[in-house]
Amino acid sequence: MLKFLIEKEFKQIFRNPYLLRLIIVMPFMVLLVLPLAANFEVKNINLSIIDNNHSPYSERLIHKISSSGYFKITDVSSSYEKALYSIEQDVADIILEIPSQFEQELVKEKSSNLLISANSVNGTKGGLGSVYLAGIVSDFSNEIREEWIQSSNRITTPSFTIVQQYRYNPHLEYPIYMVPALVVMLLTQICGFLPALNIVAEKEKGTIEQMNVTPVKKFTLILSKLIPYWVIGFAVLTICFGVAFLFYGLFPLGNLSTIYLFASIYVLAISGLGLVVSNYANTIQQAMFMMFFFVMTMIFLSGLYTPVNSMPDWAQFISRFSPLKYFIQVMRLVYLKGSSLTELLPKFFALIGFAIFFNAWAVLSYRKSK
Amino acid sequence: MKAISVNNIYRNYGDVEALIDISFEVEQGEIFGIIGPDGAGKTTLFRILTTLLLADKGSATVDGCDVIKDFKLIRNRVGYMPGRFSLYLDLTVEENLNFFATVFNTTIEENYYLIEDIYKQLEPFKDRRASALSGGMKQKLALCCSLIHKPTVLFLDEPTTGVDPVSRKELWEMLKKLKQQGISILVSTPYMDEAEMCDRIALIQNGNFLKIDTPKNIVNQFDNILWALSSNRMYDLLNDLRNHPKIKSCYAFGDSHHITISTDNFLLNDLNIFLNEKGHKDIEISPIKASIEDCFMQLTN
């Protein structure tokens, strides 16, 4: 019986002109475009410079900034007011003011002050921009200090350097961090959204009523709705592995079977959530909106874009209830760190918990609606 | 054993009482019609009998099976054709029929003789998707799908609503053939003229059965004098007739108005004179035999 029902579902899916194409195009779109577009690295910051000093030192500083690659000097103003105007006109993002006694102070008093003023309407750009700028300035001051030490030939201050080593993602490449996590988002949409919408569509069209008068058991009917999307979900997962390897040279350090195991539990959990939604929604519109509400909240709290650890305590607490969080962590750990199942056991049980919770809720809410 | 037996079924939706203590029985091999306007409670009754909805009170059996206890048995034995077309629009005619056959653990070939007459008309379009069928064709396909497992009782909820007159007539002829195969049929319709096609009918309004009998008996029990009238100003005619003290009721019926007279000493001629005074021309008055619709109007009054 189940065989015929699944056959029918596949027939309908393959006959839907948009669904199948979308399912195939989506992994490429998400994995190829999103990590590049949603990059938090800030470049091309427009800088306005007020050089009140016009000395060799100030020129050296400006040259150092412009050759860093992060900044574009788009404005040179004579006063702070004028520079501020260029920020208002959106010509500049950051102002650097060099005081008129810059070189003299440096030489005489061995220290001087610079003003960095950033437009923080775009917080990331303003914040990161001023941090980069401050970094360049401090590099500059170290340079000068070393020159003086060499020229005066005496050791005054002990100095040390920090060598940074980034484990698991040595070059801090954004796609390497994002790609494993984006796969989770895809799986959520295919195995969570699609079966829920499919069931609600049958409700909306009235076809489910016709099915309910047949001897087909409700459980069989629902399984026949889920299995095709599970199959598609795993196919897409496999496509994703291929895309990640081909375009980013990414291959999990850990075992692929660990990922498939976690994926199967995760898919069970998320399609359970889909069933819950399909029980409460009577129209596709309602179902869409409910799914978006849950999935959006879960994505933002999952640590997909921003680390969970930097969220406020209450948000960190809520994030425990996002199944996405656990699977995203698992994906990153297996891909980048090569973690094995034994190290991931707590997350494994968490996902099993979600699967039981959502499916129990689905069964209960189904009974109630009847 | 009765095909359907209903005892004091009651069901409400919040404040709205959809069915109020309904009781009736359908004999085996009978075409039983539920006749009533939209919102009378017809679909609710069908949904309860096909185990899709639970009644608040009362009990019912279909083919000897209780609608609550033996719902699984009922689902194997009945055919249900909902008022709204509910087959898969993205499957073809043949695929739909095949699908419903397999769902009931049977094949098209096994019960082909039941649907042969209907399916023959569909056969030229068997590779066409259900979404591309005309209204009448859709209904024929839906009927085929609800028959393919050879049900003992067939439930048809408004099968002729939105179907052209020719297809309507064909559909009723098919039902008569199915009856000869021993299938009991419960059919609902808002069209009073279809009542005569049924062996027995129940007139339903606001969740109440007004009367259960054969169409013939219901018509024969009509005990008022009934006249059909028309004139050149039909709307004024309706108002004038309704204001006349000796006229009990007056309803618009297509191209004429039907009136019932309250006393015997009111002659056709008296009415003619009255209408002439009101300035009506081309007046035509004729005594007629009551139809089911006239009986329904009388009962609801």
How far apart (Å, rounded) are the C-alpha atoms in residues B138 and B97? 12
Rounded to the nearest angstrom, the gap between the alpha carbon of residue B78 and the centroid of all alpha carbons in its chain is 18
- Domain holding A146, by residue range, is 45-152
Tell me whether the CATH fold assigned to B4-219 matches the one assigned to B223-300: no
Contact A270, A353 (CB under 8 A): no
User: A12 with A109, same domain?
Assistant: no
Q: If you compute the radius of gyration of chain A from its CA atoms, what whole number of angstroms results?
A: 28
Q: Do B90 and A210 touch (CB under 8 A)?
A: no
What is the architecture of the domain spanning B4-219? 3-Layer(aba) Sandwich (3.40)
* Adjacent-strand bridge partners of A115: A97
The total of structural domains in chain A comes to 2
The Cα–Cα gap between A348 and A369 comes to: 32
Would the pLDDT of B128 be above 90? yes
What pLDDT is recorded for position A41?
67
pLDDT at site B79: 94
> What is the three-class DSSP state of B57?
strand
Q: Which residues of B are less than 8 Å from A12 in CB distance?
A: 88, 90-91
In order along its 370 residues, chain A shows pLDDT tens digits of 889 999 999 999 998 888 888 888 888 888 888 777 766 667 788 899 998 888 888 888 899 888 888 888 888 888 888 888 888 888 888 999 998 888 888 888 878 888 988 888 887 788 888 888 888 888 888 888 788 777 766 555 566 667 777 788 777 777 888 889 999 999 998 999 899 999 999 999 989 889 989 998 888 998 999 999 999 999 999 999 999 999 888 899 999 999 999 999 999 999 999 999 999 999 999 999 999 999 888 888 888 888 888 888 998 999 999 999 999 999 999 999 999 999 999 999 999 999 999 999 998 888 765 5
Q: How far is CA A33 from the centre of its chain?
A: 12
Report the chain A residue with the minimal C-alpha distance to residue B85: A206
In a domain, A158, yes or no: no
Helix, strand, or coil (residue A255): coil
Task: Give the C-alpha separation, B154 to B216, whole Å.
Answer: 23
Reply yes or no on whether the pLDDT at B192 is more than 90.
Answer: no
CATH number of B223-300: 3.30.70.100
The Cα A12–Cα A5 span in angstroms is 11
User: What is the nearest CA distance from A209 to chain B, expressed in angstroms?
Assistant: 8
Contacts of A209 in chain B (CB under 8 A): 52, 82, 86
Task: Please return the burial class of B6, using the count of CB atoms within 10 Å of its CB with bins 0-12, 13-18 and 19+.
Answer: buried
| Test mutation, A2, A204, A210, chain B, max B CBs within 10 A | A210
ipTM of the complex: 0.81
Which of A5, A11, A206 shows the shortest C-beta gap to B82? Answer: A206
Residue A77 and residue A139 in one domain: yes
Same domain, A242 and A349: yes
Q: Which of residues 209-228 of A touch B (CB under 8 A)?
A: 209-216
Burial category of A208 from C-beta neighbours within 10 Å (exposed 0-12, middle 13-18, buried 19 and up): middle
For the domain that residue A108 is a member of, what is the CATH number? 3.40.1710.10
Burial (CB count within 10 angstroms: exposed 0-12, middle 13-18, buried 19+), residue B266: middle
Segment holding B163, helix H or strand E:
none
Residue A40 has a pLDDT of 64
**Is A229 inside any structural domain?**
yes
Asked whether residue A261 is domain-assigned, the answer is: yes
A1 CB neighbours in chain B (<8 A) are: 102-103, 105
SS3 at position B120: helix
The residue type of A24 is I
What band does B108 get if pLDDT is binned at 50, 70 and 90?
Answer: very high
Using a CB-CB cut-off of 8 Å, the residues of chain A touching B90 are: 12, 15-16
Does residue A328 share a domain with residue A204? yes
Q: Where are the domains of chain B?
A: 4-219, 223-300
Is A210 in Cβ contact with B80 (below 8 Å)? yes
Q: Using the beta-carbon criterion (under 8 Å), do A5 and B87 form an inter-chain contact?
A: no
Residue where a domain stops, chosen among A152, A181, A211: A152
- 3-class DSSP state for residue A234? helix
- Rounded Cα distance, A233 and B69, in Å: 39
Percent of all residues in chain B with a pLDDT value above 70, rounded to a whole number: 100
**A327 part of a folded domain:** yes
Q: What is the pLDDT of residues B197-228, one digit of tens each?
A: 999 999 999 999 999 999 999 999 888 888 89
CB contact under 8 A, B103 and A215: yes
What b/e readout covers B136-154, taking b as 16+ CB neighbours within 10 angstroms? bbbbbbbbbbbbbbbbbbb
Decide if pLDDT at B95 tops 90: yes
Q: Is residue A16 less than 8 Å (CB to CB) from chain B?
A: yes
A12 at B interface, C-beta within 8 A: yes
The partner residue sitting opposite B104, judged by closest CB among A205, A206, A214, is: A214
A20 Cβ under 8 Å from any chain B Cβ: no
- DSSP-derived secondary structure letter, A334: I
Determine the length of chain A. Answer: 370
- Identify whether residues A56 and A133 lie together within a single domain: yes
User: Is A164 within the bounds of a domain?
Assistant: no
Residue A166 lies in a domain: no
Strand order in the sheet with B256-261: B247-253, B256-261, B225-230, B284-287
Q: Taking CB atoms and an 8 Å limit, are A213 and B89 in contact across chains?
A: no
